[in-house]
Structure 1
């Protein structure tokens, strides 16, 4: 399976699911008369960020993931404040991913990747290792955290909200 196939379509699918999860959070806040700021700022534990950060992290991981493989990706400010802002950020990231050239991603499968961060630089022997061991797990960590933040507040979410469009019904 190509590196592109393991990365871009998977990220798009789960970003779409994240968008729907965020929209359910917005609907919940409105239905229950809860201030949206309270829902957005809720943390599972004091030293962990709220849903705004989690959504930004999913989008940034997706964008940076393909960028480090050679795809041009513009800088995006982390300035979202509302549910609508988060949905727009996700949509922007999906559009970016939909425009990714599979050949560029696939060409990076065996190339080393250096991930420069505030915590230092991290080395991955291949693009495949970078995607398999960092991008996909990190993305799902933040998606799961966003899901759990909303779920902990009472938003009616289930496994199929997270795994939407993953299963294809088999009819023998």
Structure 2
């Protein structure tokens, strides 16, 4: 299976699910008369980040995943403050991924990846290692946290919200 197939379509699918989850959070806040800011700035524990941060991290990690494999990706300002802003940010991330040239991603499968961060630079022997061992798990860490933030506030979410469109019904 190609590196592109393992990464980009998977990220798109889960970003779409995230958009629906965030929209459920917005509807919940409105229905219950809760200030949107209270939901958006909620933290599971004091030293973890807010829902806004988690959505930004998901979108940024999607963009970074393909960028580190050689895809040109524009800078996006982290300035979202509303549910609508978050949904637009997710849509932008999806569009960026939909425009990715699979050949560029696939060409990075055996190429080393250096991940430059504020904590220092990190080395991955191959693009495959980077995607499998860091990019996808990191994406899901932030997605799970966003999901849990909304659940902790009472938003009615289930596994199928997270895993929407993952299963194909099998009829024997």
**TM-score using structure 2 length:** 1.00
> Any unmatched runs of 5+ in structure 2?
none
Residue 47 of structure 1 corresponds to which residue in structure 2? 47
Residue 134 of structure 1 corresponds to which residue in structure 2? 134
Find runs of 4+ consecutive structure 1 residues off by over 2 angstroms: none
Deviations 1:38-76 (A, max 9, x none): 000110000000100000000000000000000000000
Q: Whole-Å Cα distance in 2 between the matches of residues 131 and 52 of structure 1?
A: 24
Residue 102 of structure 2 corresponds to which residue in structure 1? 102
Deviations 1:2-41 (A, max 9, x none): 0000000000000000000000000000000000000001
Deviations 1:54-103 (A, max 9, x none): 00000000000000000000000111000000000000000000000000
Residue 93 of structure 2 corresponds to which residue in structure 1? 93
Residues 55-134 of structure 1 mapped to structure 2, 5 A cutoff: 55-134=55-134
Q: Whole-Å Cα distance in 1 between the matches of residues 96 and 82 of structure 2?
A: 21
User: Aligned-pair distance for 1:167?
Assistant: 0.3
Q: Whole-Å Cα distance in 2 between the matches of residues 123 and 2 of structure 1?
A: 21
User: Aligned-pair distance for 1:155?
Assistant: 0.1
User: Aligned-pair distance for 1:146?
Assistant: 0.2
User: Aligned-pair distance for 1:121?
Assistant: 0.3
Q: Whole-Å Cα distance in 1 between the matches of residues 64 and 142 of structure 2?
A: 15
For residue 15 of structure 2, give the secondary structure of its aligned residue in structure 1: helix
Q: Whole-Å Cα distance in 1 between the matches of residues 170 and 119 of structure 2?
A: 46
Residue 145 of structure 2 corresponds to which residue in structure 1? 145
Q: Whole-Å Cα distance in 2 between the matches of residues 82 and 18 of structure 1?
A: 15
For residue 121 of structure 2, give the secondary structure of its aligned residue in structure 1: strand
> Is 1:6 matched up with 2:9?
no
